[in-house]
Every structure is written in C-alpha cells, then in structure tokens.
Structure 1
Amino acid sequence: MAAKRITQETFDEVVRENISEFEMDPEESLNEAIQQFESQGVDLSNIVKMAPNLASENGHELNHAILQTLDLLQKAVVDSDLCEVDELLVSFADQCKQELAIRYLAGQKGAYPAVLAACRLASEDNCSLLKALNALSALIDGQPDLLDNSGQELLLRVLRESRDDADLTLAGIHCVRHACMKHEQNRQDLVKGGILPILAGAIVQHGDRADVVREACSGLRIMTFDDDIRVPFGHAHDHAKMIVVEHDGLKILIEAAKAFTDDCSVLSEICATLARLAVRNEFCQDIVNLGGLNFMVALLADCIDHQELVKQVLNAIRAVAGNDDVKDAIVNVGGTDLIVLAMSRHLGSPQVCEQSCAALCMLALRKPENCRVIMEGGGALAALQAMKTHPREATVQKQACMLIRNLVARTRDFSQPILEMGAENLIVEARAAHRDCDDVAKAALRDLGCKVELRELWTGQKGGLAH
C-alpha cells in the first residue's frame, strides 16, 4: 500500500499550532509534528523539516530559506538584473543540493520556469549561463518530471553551441544525466534531439578533462537504462545499438581510457559504460578486437586493490562473456585466475563477490573446458566462501548457486569435489533464506546429485473447477 503524503503547508501549519496552542518552543514543536505524522504512517520524505521563524512578517511559506531565495530570484529575472540573478542562482543551487525535500518544495512553488528563464537571460554570458545550468541541474536532481520540451531544447542548444567550452559542456551533461535518471520519455526525447553524438563528441573533444569524460560516459550509460517503472517497454537496447553503430561508442571509450591510466574513477565509469553497451554478440567481439579485453584484464591485475574499479571491471567482463568466443579469449589470457583473486581479495564486499561469481558463471556456461580451468583455479571454493561470508545477500547466494550449477551441469566429475567443500548445506541454506534463490538452488542441488524435495504446486486432485 502506498504511503500517505501531506503538503508542506499542512506540515508547517501543525508546527505552528504546536507553538501557539501548546506553547512549545520551535524545535520541540517541529519534533512533535514529525513524530505525530510518522505515527500515522505519513511519508515525510518530501517535507522540509524546519522550525519556523516566528519573527518573520512575510507569511509562513517564506520562512523556508529556499522560498525566500526563489522569491528574490523570480523578481530579479523579471527585472532582468543579471548581477542579482547570478548571485541568487548560486544560493539557490547550494540550497537545492542539501536534500530532495528542499528541491521538491522549490519545484512545487514555480522554481523550474524561474530557473529556465534565468538560463535564457544568461545565454549571452558564459559565466552566468554556467551558474544557471548548475541551478537547473540541482533543481531537477531526483525530479526529472520538471524538465519540459523547452528545457530539453535549451539543453541541446547550449551543448551544441558551447561544445568548445569544457565547463559549460560539463554542466549541460550534468543536467541531462539528472533529467534522464528513471525517466524514459526524457531519454527518448533527448536521443531524438541528438544527444548521443553530443555525449560521444564530448569524450573526444575534452579527452584531457577527467570530469567531462566521466560525466559524458555516465550520460551515455544512463541512455541505456530501463529504470522507469511507469513505462512497460523502454528503448535501452536501441539506444545502446545507436551508441555503438552510429557513434562509434566502443572505440571512443576504449581510446579515452588511455589518457587516464591512473584515474580509477574515470576507468570505473568507462568499464561500467562498456558493460551497458555489450548487448549483442558482435559488440562483445568488437570490444575484444579494439583491445578492450586486454585493457580490462590489465586493469584487474594492476588495480586489484581498488574495490570500486574491480567491481566495474568484473561487471564488464561478465557482459562481454555473453559471447562464447569471448569466453575462451578471457580464459586464455588468464582472466579466471584474476577473477578468483579479486573475489578472495575483496571477500568482504558483497558487490565484488556477486560480480565475480556472475563473471565465472558466464565463463562456465556451456564450456566444460572453462569449467575445468575455474575448478583448478579455486573458483568453486571461492564462491562457496563468498556464500559463507554473505549469508544475507540474496544476489551473492544466487550467483554462487548459478556458478556451481554451471560447473557441474556438463561435467559431473566435479560434483563430488564441490560437495566435499560443503556446497550442499550452503545451497540448502540459501534456498531456505531467499525466495529469489529457490529455482537456482534447486537446479544446483539436482545437478550435484543431491536429493531435492520438489513442491507440487497443483496435482489435479480434490475436485474439479468451481462453477
């Protein structure tokens, strides 16, 4: 059942009543209101929780700092006072960055058209435009529905006209990224408007700027997401295909990595983006042909202690291993040993354990010879150790079960050694603890030769259908 919501005005009114009727001090009245609404099951995530300033004469709404700033900004925009607008945009952006509730309140009170008008007013001055874009980015973070067609057109125009300006490019892409997170329509509209060549071009044009490359990679990656629950079918696959086929995305990303051999944050973003683009068999092979596999394996070897980078490299290896020929290439360059080493080194990280098991699982699929290499390299033992270390992490348990199943599905000789490692108890525990693991755990137990208790969902007994 959806949580109940209230308006900011309702919350503020209760705070004020607590002060006037029960003689509470402002802080006490605020805490009482929060407790009162939460006890009623009200979701206060969209509410600015601030004790009112009773000395204000501007009305209770304007006691919120963000609304005071917004009121001044709206007036300055109407007066075309660019100096005042600049100053207020900086203040507005800083306040919006504090929390979503503040951004939400500003959005409810007309901040979007005011900031968009400020962007237009500042269009002839790059310094002012940068401040306006930063304010727009801060406002739409977490509320992409605010962006309309006018905002999309403005962003696309600014990014085209300012492609030589790294700072404006960075700010514009930041807006695009916030606008497209969990918003399929914005993604589709911006792709139709030509955002993909802009993002790919930014990586090439500003290849010496880590922040721009990182942001542009993230922008491309978000275009391949399918995270908007309001839309039954997104265009994630189509967008990934366009990035690769029409805009040479794989080559651009792999080339870009050469300039940032010591920057783990950029390399992580590049690997994460490559993983999202490996959606077709030929794309996986293209990544290998372009040197992407050697690059990823070298990264895993050289940066084994950098947990976030390791996680993203494993994710990318898992993705390209969807191609059977690439599976063999990964094993031939020693990829399996490095994956097992990464899992052992970062055994305390459920994310690394999950990605390691998932990568080994892909390498083992339909490949008995690869299964032998994984077994000899200690892959099964490492996966079981991950299960033991993270009993409450369903994703780790699930991927480990799938790996065990793939290792023995076509090579039954491995069943006994894996059982001697204690696999049966761990898999049974995973099945009992996590509903998501039931099917894969059952399959792993069955292929290990263990007795599996099958549940009959319906036997056809006990009478016919009711009329």
Structure 2
Amino acid sequence: MDDFGMSREEAVEDAIKQFEMQGVDLSNIATTLSCVDQDEVPLVVLTREYTDKVNNTEQQGAHEVLTKVLKLLRSSSDANESKTIAGNAGLLQSIFTALAADDLLEDQAMTMFDCLAFLIQGHPTNQEKLKEPRDIVHGWKCEGMDAVMGAMRRMPGRADVQLKGLKLCTLGAQKCEPIKAAIVDRGGLEMLKGALQDLSESAALMAEVGSCIHALATADDLTSIASKAFDTARDVYKQEMLPLIYQAFRKHREDVEVVQELVYALKAVSIQEDIVKSVLEEGGVELIKDGMRQHMQHANLVSRCLLFFANLAENDKAKTELCQGDALPLMIEALHLHARNAFAVRCGFAAFASMALRMPENTERIIEHGGDKLLLEGMRTHPKFPEVNRYAMIAIRNIVVRRPEFVPLFLEEGAEELIRRARDTHLKCADAAFDCLRDLGCEYGGLGDKAGKGAYSPYMHCESSLDKRNQVGRGSAMVSCISPIVRLTLDP
C-alpha cells in the first residue's frame, strides 16, 4: 500500500477488481469496508450482545437479541457478506451453546434453527462450523450438530420445530459427508421415521422429510474418499420407512411439493437390488406413475420421476418392467410435453439409456414409441447442454449396439452431424461421441481434435490461449463440472 500510495480501502477495492477480472468467486468473503472499526458494525455489535447473554447463566433476553440479528441478516443488501461477518463474529458457536440449554423453549429453538439455516445456506465456510472441531485421531466431532440434534430430540411432537430442524439438517448435509454421518449417527433416521409415523398430517414436514432423506442418502461430497450414503439408503429400508413414505405420498397426493420431495427420497434409496425389488413389489413404482400422471404439467416433479425411473432401471428386472409396461409411454408423453426443459429431457434420456442397456427387447419398444426421434430432437433443441447430449448419445449407442438394424434410422435423421457437433462443442461429450460414432458405423477417429472447442463452448481456441467466454464471476476457468446424478455403465 505504501509503495503505491493507497489507503487500506483503496487497496482492498483494487484487489477485489483484480480477482473479479480473473473470474474468482468472492461470494463467501467480506468485500466491503463500510465500517473499518468492527465495533461500529451493527451485526457485530448485536452478535456480541447475544453472545454475552448466552454466556450468562440465565440467558435473559438472548432470544430477543437473536430475533433482531436474524431480521438484520435477512434485510441485508449483501447476504453473503453479512453471513461471513456473523460467522466470523462467532454467532454460530453462540447459537450452539444456547441450543444445549436445559430450559430451551420451542419458539427459541425455531428462531435458532432459522438463523443457522440462513447462515449456512450457500455459505460453505459457515456450513463447516457445524462439524467443528476436528480431532486428529477421530476426525470431525460435529459439536454443532450435537446441539441441533439434541434440541430436536427434546421436542419430538412439535411439527413446526421438527420442520425447521430438518430444514437445517438438509442444508447442512448437502455435499458434506461428515455432517451426513453425524445426523445419522445421532438418531436422524429415527427422527425422520417418527415424523412419518406421528406427524404425517403436516404437508410441509412431509416434504422436508423427503428432502432430508435424499440429502442423507446421496453421495454428493466430492471431497470425501468414502461415503456412508449407501449404508444410509439401506438403513432407511431396514427401518421399514418405505411403507411410511408411501403412506405420506397417498395422504398428500394433491400437493406437488410433497410428492416431488418424496419421489426424490425414493430415488435416492432405490439403489440396491433388494430395495429395488421391494419398490417394485410393494407399489412404489405405481405410486410414482400415478403422481406423474396427476401432475404432468409440473416440469420439476416430472424430472424427478424420470430420474427415479433412470435410477431404478439400473436393475435388469426393473428396466424390463418399466419398458414393457405403461411407464415408457408415460415417459414419452412427459418428454413431448416438456421438450423445451433441458433438465427434464436430460433425465428422460438417462432413463432411456438405462432401459436400453443390454436389453434388445427394450430397445425395440423405445423405437416403437418414437424414442429415436425424441433423442435426436432433444440434441437439436438443446445444443448448449452437455448432459442432454451426452445421455442422448449413450442411449443411442446402447440401442444400436445390440440392434444394428436401427442404425439407418438414426443416420437418416441426421444423428452423425448432431453427434459431431456435440463432441466439438462439449469436452465432456467426447468419449460418448467416440463410442456412438463407432457403433453407428461412422468415421470416428480419436476423441477428436476439436473436442470442446466448438461454437457453443464456453472457451474459444486461440493460437496462444483460451479466452474465457461468459465466465465472469463463476470461479476458476479450469474447474470441471462433474456432477453425475445417474450412474450409467456403457454396454461392453
């Protein structure tokens, strides 16, 4: 600062501009110095006042102060910066302390859950505080989750308390394996089962139960070497929660929000053969088909139903039942209706790819219902979406590899050009395009010198560099987007 004759504020402002020009995401750090003296920041002042009252034996007036803090947080013009300031001032730790109080009241607990949920949503640094401290030998101790789960256990019959607590658990569990494990280890599944059994009249709570089960049973933490998500899915089944989910589904079948969250829960747990068998035999698939028919206009719900079918179709018995029964026509109808919705199309194509894998009789049914035209039309309609194109190519490949007589259908409808365009546009489509072109009998060469460098790519190939296009504020240019929702195995 001295070398350039800059004040502290000017130096920070200049640094922020430099980082933003490089595409660095600064959403999780404070980027203004509106009050250089921290004692003058209202949020810090209130947080310290709250901490003092919490540390007082009687905690007199602490709830009123926290209510003011939450109101101030919600009214902030820069939510992420406010979350950062509050987190650095120790607000989360003070709430954890207050949650452990023996005389905790229900309205106090709900305000604390609301405040914690606001602080961790979209803010990984604050989310990390739920799992602190870390023991060198035993790993994360998750004292914050201890306090949250303890408060929820003390108020099992209050639907409103459980709702806010589960919302917090769902947010905390997303992409964080230690918090998922902490929730399960501290009786989280038992709480979810209790809510399904005793509080099923609350539609909002049932929707949150579905969200929480999905978060706990999904292995989405790419930083973790191992995951207990699959064990959690099995525990949901072993604790006989599936019939309770079906019961809640029937009770709230008119409520789109409840139905779509319960579908997501079933999608997350239907990953092992005995669970899939149970879902098929006990009416889970029929329920989801009924829900899909009833709410066909709702793209998000339909997308989740298609994802459920894609997951289920990894099982050979399930893929045959889905494709040979009335589920396939339902999927076709949904894809026609939501043809402009890239996520719905992507989910449907993933289901096609799963159903066609190693099943020649299924591929014939898909073709009979116009699946070939749907796949190619989806690629034409959504050239900018790599996942749509990738799953379309996997589905095409799985269809023609066992039924080569269908190759002319795809070639006559322009498949080769669409596949090459997808390969040249999206780097993550290169391997699927290679296999697809080969099995269609087209010239395929290597993975393609132009892979990922076409017209729709976020990067343009230049002689000496890669120019970023539309990447400002989205983080590092070289971070890859790896988030497969459905695991598909290509036909050998």
Residues 439 and 40 of structure 1: CA distance in aligned 2, closer, same or farther (over 3 Å): closer
Corresponding position: 1:108 with 2:88: yes
**1: distance between equivalents of 2:71 and 2:401?**
56
The match for 1:45 is 27
- Equivalent residue, structure 1, for 2:127: 144
Which residue is 2:68 aligned to? 91
The reply to whether residue 401 of structure 1 matches residue 383 of structure 2 is no
* Distance in 2 (alpha carbons) for counterparts of 1:86 and 1:415: 68
Equivalent residue number for residue 118 of structure 1: 98
Aligned-pair CA distance for 1:32: 6.9
Q: Deviations over 1:290-312 (max 9, x none)?
A: 21111122222222110000000
- AA aligned opposite 1:60: D
Q: Is 1:193 paired with 2:186?
A: yes
Question: Contact (CA 8 Å) 1:281, 1:322: kept in 2 or not?
Answer: no
What's the TM-score, normalizing by structure 2? 0.81
**What CA distance in whole angstroms lies between the structure 2 residues aligned with 1:429 and 1:121?**
61
- Find the aligned partners of 1:287 and 1:297 in 2 and give their Cα distance: 13
Aligned with 1:129 (options 104, 109, 118): 109
Q: Secondary structure at the match of 2:218?
A: coil
Would the aligned equivalents of 1:350 and 1:390 in 2 still touch at CA under 8 Å?
yes
- Cα displacement (A) at 1:258: 0.5
Instruction: Provide the C-alpha distance between the structure 2 equivalents of 1:15 and 1:215, rounded to a whole number of angstroms.
Output: 49
CA contact (8 A) 2:434 2:447 kept: no
How far 1:33 sits from its partner (Å)?
7.3
Shift of 1:82: 5.1
| CA deviation map 1:165-204 (0-9, x unaligned) | 1111112222222322222112222322221111222122
Instruction: Quote the Cα distance in structure 1 between the aligned partners of 2:446 and 2:53.
Output: 71
Q: CA–CA distance in 2 between the matches of 1:38 and 1:193?
A: 41
Structure 2: gaps (5+ residues): 1-5, 133-141, 450-492
Q: Aligned AA for 1:68?
A: V
How many pairs does the alignment contain? 428
Q: Tell me, what secondary structure is at the counterpart of 1:313?
A: helix
| Aligned partners of 1:116 and 1:136 also within 8 Å | no
Determine the structure 2 residue equivalent to 1:6.
none
- Any unmatched runs of 5+ in structure 1? 1-13, 19-28, 54-58, 458-467
Shift of 1:220: 1.5
The answer to whether the Cα contact below 8 Å between 1:16 and 1:52 also exists between their aligned partners in 2 is no
Alignment equivalent of 1:157, drawn from 125, 150, 154: 150
Aligned to 1:61: 38
Match of residue 436 from structure 1: 428
1:390 is aligned to 382
The reply to whether residue 241 of structure 1 matches residue 234 of structure 2 is yes
For the 8 Å contact 1:183–1:228, the answer to whether it is kept is yes
Give 2:440's aligned residue: 448
Q: Deviations over 1:121-144 (max 9, x none)?
A: 474322222222322333333322
Match 2:295 to one of 279, 303, 317: 303
**Helix, strand or coil: the match of 1:201?**
helix
1:192-228 deviations in Å (ceiling 9; x for gaps)? 2221111222122211112111112211111123233
Query: Aligned equivalents of 1:302 and 1:333: distance in 2?
Result: 18
SS in 2 for 1:336: helix
The residue type paired with residue 325 of structure 1 is K
Instruction: Confirm or deny: 8 A CA contact 2:430 2:447 kept in the other structure.
Output: no
Aligned to 1:168: 161
Please tell me the residue identity of whatever aligns with 2:50.
Answer: L
Deviation of 1:37 (Å): 5.7
TM-score (norm 1): 0.85
Output one character per residue of 1:383-439: Cα deviation in whole Å (capped at 9) or x when no partner: 100000111111000000011111111111111122111111111111222222222
Q: Which residue, out of 202, 208, 211, partners 2:195?
A: 202
- Aligned pair in 2 of structure 1 residues 73, 290: CA closer, same or farther (>3 Å)? same
User: Alpha carbon RMSD of aligned pairs, Å?
Assistant: 2.5
Q: What's the counterpart of residue 56 of structure 1? A: none
Structure 1 counterpart of 2:320? 328
1:268 lines up with 2:250 in the alignment: no
Q: Which amino acid aligns with 1:201?
A: G
Cα shift at 1:337: 1.6
Corresponding residue to 2:52 among 61, 65, 75: 75
Between 272-281 and 184-193, report the one with greater CA deviation: 184-193
Q: 1:239 to 1:392 in 2, by over 3 A?
A: same
In structure 2, the CA distance between the partners of 1:408 and 1:455, relative to structure 1 (3 Å rule), is closer
Shift, 1:442, TM fit:
1.9
Which range moves more in the overlay, 105-114 or 137-146? 137-146
- The answer to whether the aligner puts 1:286 opposite 2:278 as a matched pair is yes
Opposite residue 417 of structure 1, the aligned amino acid is L
Larger helix fraction of residues = 1
Sort the Cα spacing of 1:419 and 1:455 in 2 relative to 1 into closer, same or farther, 3 A: closer
Contact 1:354 1:396 in 2 (8 A): yes
Residue 365 in 1 paired to residue 345 in 2? no
Q: Which has the higher contact order (CA 8 A, sep 6+)?
A: 2
